[in-house]
Chain A
């Protein structure tokens, strides 16, 4: 449970491009602790929801196969400067985080 979600959203020619960076360890559950040999429990983001003006533009379902500190970029039609983008993730341990940004 660390950090926040960095979001940058830019609109150009009627299409908004969103880039985001989440802070998460993304453990697959397959790795072992090198010193103790104990398996490291799975801990990864399972679901990411992106909203624009309270409307869901994209839902992502992830496995532990997404890299640590995930990067996600997507695009949607529409979007005006100053409108809000909201990104929420939920992981397999029930933790969650939400970040918002304004379109520039």
Chain B
């Protein structure tokens, strides 16, 4: 009896799970949140266009207030650890760009009021290129770049 019920429950939940999750995601996350995903910026095929779409401007200023940490040589381009840190006041967002990728913009992080301008993640790199970090502040865009030599590309198959 109990077993039979459990069966139905399992069956039911398995069948619906994929759709259920999709619906739940659609219902639970406000439409505006996903609409925020900067589609054009991620589709842009060069760094300047991506920055213009993402931040409204591509004029960045090299700054030692932006620190980017990445390996000198990445043996596997599919997994390149990148850490971006800044001590600038009022940082609003951080963007990570792999300038040699077909679509260079990897990620953009919007910082909340309490956030410290620090993010660390792992990215894919198609080939040897600069990894660029752009920090958005009240007064403009600050950037730093770090060349990373990639021995095996991480995009495409």
Please report A residues at the B interface, Cβ cutoff 8 Å: 1, 15, 28, 30-32, 34, 40, 46-47, 49, 52, 55-68, 70-78, 88, 90, 93-96
Contacts and interface: CB of A to CB of B under 8 A. Distances in A.
Identify which of B37, B98, B115 gathers the most chain A CB atoms within 10 Å of its CB. B115
B38 interface: yes
Identify which of A1, A34, A56, A61 gathers the most chain B CB atoms within 10 Å of its CB. A61
A20 to B, nearest CB: 10
Contact of A32 (B22, B28, B105, B157): B157
Contact of A90 (B17, B34, B78, B116): B34
Interface stretch (B5-13, B117-125, B132-140): B117-125
A3 to B, nearest CB: 14
Contacts of B18: 1, 95
Interface string B97-124: 0100111011111111011101111111
A35 to B, nearest CB: 11
B155 A66 contact: no
B33 interface: yes
Contacts, number: 136
Main secondary structure of the interface of A (DSSP, over half): strand
Give the interface residue-count category, chain B: 35 or more
Given A58-B112, A96-B24, A30 B121 contact: no
7 contacts: A57-B112, A65-B155, A67-B79, A67-B80, A70-B122, A75-B115, A75-B118
Contact of B109 (A58, A68, A77, A90): A58
B33 A67 contact: no
A16 to B, nearest CB: 9
B25 interface: yes
A66 B123 contact: yes
A59 B106 CA distance: 14
A40 B154 CA distance: 15
B21 interface: yes
A76 B120 contact: no
A47 B34 contact: yes
Contact of A59 (B22, B109, B157): B109
A23 to B, nearest CB: 14
